[in-house]
């Protein structure tokens, strides 16, 4: 027997409807080039512009299902693209602005993007694609920056200014009826091995993800919040926050391209930001700045931090400033919120150090998603005992079930589960502790060493700002760990490998101690701000050569 409920589609158009009808007065603020200057708008204005944009796209020949790319920083106009493109039936394809030209060329051609919304300041990064992306018919130039050259304008059939493009559209656009399973947005994973892989979100997956992201025990978003994400809008749809914040009517503050600690702190202070989000390498320098200057951020209550493991020292440090760091795990493939760390009521009486240990886990799986861990060799499912280590696998309505046009996709799936490539334990309360990425585990003498755990301990040392641990080939042990350490500037001349080794020896097994500590001015980062261990392995290759010769 079927139920009597309406078969009403879950679409992003509904989020747009709420934003327009319920929250038109709520502010939308974008940081401008000049420090202290901002463009101020509202959801009401954004919604009106979204109508015009959708209509203009339709007049320009964009049809349902067409891919429309963005190549842009975090701004109001990017938010307008987030709504207009999927709500008129096209597919928003956020391009990672930090990729190499060859990767970008592959991605634009693979997705067959028909149009690109391009920030003026990013034209130089897009120029190498001239003549190599034949599907691109329309380039719309957004935001501040120098005008592109005549050669650039001639390289594409149509190049137009964003505001002029908006004027070509109607104030009221008749939204098409959209099937909730239709593609809404797509995002390519950076693909550390092989070519990047395309993940395509549906309207339905986006709405479900937004609801879950906003829940009190998730990001806990409310109409009363002022949200500023320091996650690029090309990184897994800024973790879904633009839609989740709009759904509940929270104001949005856009940092634009200014992601350094000083400017972010200024913006949080000026705009009264209450919730923010970003990878650990965004928060480490912010904590450092707060500590050095004694500045306070009284409005900021919560930061969602993920993308790579949040060091316990960072969690404890921010807590001292009244800022709760909520550790989250996810992947482009999981929309991306997969798990999130909230303290369960029955753990309230734990001593502080054990609470910090819980807060440092990647938390529990989010509603609507199921998880399991599977033995790396036998493929057997493992118990949730907090000890058994296996590959984390997930399934649910906003987990990708395949990759876009990719025949090699099947190896990433197993009996209807997505293989995350992450290695984890799960404890009886469901807290997931990520041990490592499969490819980053250090394999020493037939045993595993968690690079993440060693890094976390190192980053708790008072003289250490950042630390990344990698395994390098070793003639006797297969691999041995090496630590790249960035000292705090005031300790760059008095930090020693001996003291770090001693500090670690009290915290990890002896054979986990890195064979070498290399002091570096910075750890190389990936396009989304994670430690780039591939590049680090290349940079430290001479250590392995030395071992091979000794």
**Using CB under 6 A as the criterion, which residues of the chain lie in contact with ligand ADP when the complex forms?**
189-190, 192, 236, 306-309, 327-332, 362, 420-422, 434, 437, 528, 530
Task: Output the CA torsion 498→447→381→393 (10° steps).
Answer: 50
Q: Which of 301, 355, 412, 443 is catalytic?
A: 443
Report the distance separating Cα 546 and Cα 356, nearest Å. 39
User: Is 391 an annotated catalytic residue?
Assistant: no
Please, what is the minimum distance in Å from the beta carbon of residue 361 to ligand ADP? 9
DSSP 65-90: T-EEEEE--BSHHHHHHHHHHHHTT-
Nearer Cβ to ligand ADP, position 207 or 331?
331
User: Is 189 an annotated catalytic residue?
Assistant: yes
Report the distance separating Cα 347 and Cα 32, nearest Å. 44
Please, what is the minimum distance in Å from the beta carbon of residue 315 to ligand ADP? 11
Q: Per DSSP, what are the bridge partners of residue 487?
A: 464
Q: Which of 189, 192, 299, 438 is catalytic?
A: 189
In this structure, what token pair is assigned to residue 178?
């959209």
- Nearest CA to 368 among 393, 338, 323, 331? 338
Q: Coil, strand or helix: which one is 285? A: helix
Nearer Cβ to ligand ADP, position 194 or 462?
194
Nearer Cβ to ligand ADP, position 96 or 251?
96
Nearer Cβ to ligand ADP, position 31 or 451?
451
Strands 337-340 and 364-365: antiparallel
Q: What are the φ/ψ torsions at residue 160 (nearest 5 degrees)?
A: -140, 150
Please, what is the minimum distance in Å from the beta carbon of residue 236 to ligand ADP? 6
Nearer Cβ to ligand ADP, position 249 or 471?
471
DSSP state for residue 494 in the 8-state scheme:
T
User: Is 346 an annotated catalytic residue?
Assistant: no
**What is the number of other CB atoms lying within 10 angstroms of the CB of residue 414?**
13
Report the distance separating Cα 448 and Cα 470, nearest Å. 12
Nearer Cβ to ligand ADP, position 437 or 491?
437
Nearer Cβ to ligand ADP, position 97 or 141?
97
Task: Give kind and range of the element (H or E) at residue 473.
Answer: strand 464-474
User: Is 443 an annotated catalytic residue?
Assistant: yes
Q: Which of 20, 80, 333, 455 is catalytic?
A: 333
Please, what is the minimum distance in Å from the beta carbon of residue 37 to ligand ADP? 32
Quick one: three-class SS letters along 190-213? CCCCCCCEEEEEEHHHHHHHHHHH
Nearer Cβ to ligand ADP, position 123 or 331?
331
Quick one: three-class SS letters along 364-402? EECCCCEEEEECCCCCCECCCCCCCCEEEEEECCCCCCC
List CB contacts of 248: < 8 A, sequence separation 6 or more. 214, 221, 222, 223, 225
Please, what is the minimum distance in Å from the beta carbon of residue 485 to ligand ADP? 19
Q: Coil, strand or helix: which one is 251? A: strand
Please, what is the minimum distance in Å from the beta carbon of residue 331 to ligand ADP? 4
Report the distance separating Cα 135 and Cα 115, nearest Å. 8
Please, what is the minimum distance in Å from the beta carbon of residue 190 to ligand ADP? 3
Q: Where are the beta strands (DSSP E) in 101-229?
A: 115-119, 138-142, 158-161, 183-189, 197-202, 226-229
Q: How far is CA 214 from CA 24, 76, 207, in A?
A: 19, 21, 11
Please, what is the minimum distance in Å from the beta carbon of residue 169 to ligand ADP? 34
Catalytic residues: 189, 333, 443, 448
């Amino acid at each position: 027997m079927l139920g009597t409920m309406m078969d009403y589609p879950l679409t992003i158009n509904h989020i747009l409807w709420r934003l327009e009808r319920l929250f038109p007065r709520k502010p939308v603020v974008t940081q401008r080039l000049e420090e202290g200057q901002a463009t101020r708008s509202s959801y009401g204005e954004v919604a009106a512009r979204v109508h015009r944009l959708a209509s203009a796209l339709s007049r320009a020949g964009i049809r349902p299902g067409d891919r429309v790319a963005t190549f842009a920083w975090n701004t109001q106009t990017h938010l307008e693209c987030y709504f207009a493109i999927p709500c008129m039936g096209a597919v928003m394809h956020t391009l990672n602005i930090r990729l190499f030209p060859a990767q970008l060329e592959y991605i634009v051609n693979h997705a067959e993007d028909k149009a690109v919304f391009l920030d003026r300041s990013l034209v130089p990064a897009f120029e190498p694609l001239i003549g190599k992306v034949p599907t691109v018919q329309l380039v719309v130039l957004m935001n501040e920056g120098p005008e592109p050259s005549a050669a650039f304008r001639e390289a594409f059939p149509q190049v137009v200014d964003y505001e002029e493009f908006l004027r070509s559209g109607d104030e009221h656009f008749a939204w098409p009826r959209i099937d909730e399973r239709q593609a809404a947005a797509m995002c390519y994973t950076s693909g550390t091995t092989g070519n990047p892989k395309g993940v395509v979100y549906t309207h339905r997956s986006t709405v479900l993800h937004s609801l879950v992201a906003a829940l009190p025990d998730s990001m806990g978003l409310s109409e009363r919040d002022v949200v500023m994400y320091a996650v690029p809008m090309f990184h897994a749809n800024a973790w879904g926050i633009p839609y989740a914040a709009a759904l509940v009517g929270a104001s949005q503050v856009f940092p634009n391209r200014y992601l350094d600690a000083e400017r972010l702190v200024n913006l949080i202070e000026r705009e009264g930001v209450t919730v923010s989000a970003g990878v650990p390498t965004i928060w480490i320098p912010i904590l450092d700045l707060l500590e050095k200057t004694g500045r306070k951020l009284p409005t900021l209550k919560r930061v969602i931090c993920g993308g790579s493991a949040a060091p316990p020292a960072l969690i404890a440090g921010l807590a001292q400033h009244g800022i709760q760091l909520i550790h989250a795990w996810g992947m482009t493939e999981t929309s991306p919120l997969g798990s999130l760390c909230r303290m369960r009521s029955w753990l309230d009486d734990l001593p502080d150090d054990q609470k910090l240990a819980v807060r440092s886990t990647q938390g529990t799986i989010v509603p609507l998603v199921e998880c399991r861990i599977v033995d790396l060799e036998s493929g057997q499912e493992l118990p949730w005992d907090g000890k058994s280590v296996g590959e984390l696998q997930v399934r649910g309505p906003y987990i990708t079930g395949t990759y876009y046009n990719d025949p090699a996709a099947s190896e990433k799936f197993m009996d209807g589960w997505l293989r995350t490539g992450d290695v984890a334990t799960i404890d009886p309360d469901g807290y997931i502790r990520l041990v490592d990425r499969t490819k980053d585990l250090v394999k020493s003498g037939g045993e595993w060493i968690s690079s993440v755990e060693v890094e976390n301990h190192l980053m708790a040392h008072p003289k250490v700002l950042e630390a990344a641990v990698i395994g390098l080939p070793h003639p006797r042990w297969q691999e041995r760990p090496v630590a790249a350490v960035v000292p705090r500037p005031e300790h760059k001349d008095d930090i020693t490998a001996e003291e770090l080794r001693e500090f670690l020896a009290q915290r990890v097994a002896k054979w986990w101690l890195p064979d070498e500590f290399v002091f570096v001015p910075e750890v190389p980062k990936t396009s989304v701000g994670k430690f780039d261990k591939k590049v680090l392995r290349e940079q430290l290759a001479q250590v392995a050569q030395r071992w091979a010769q000794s």
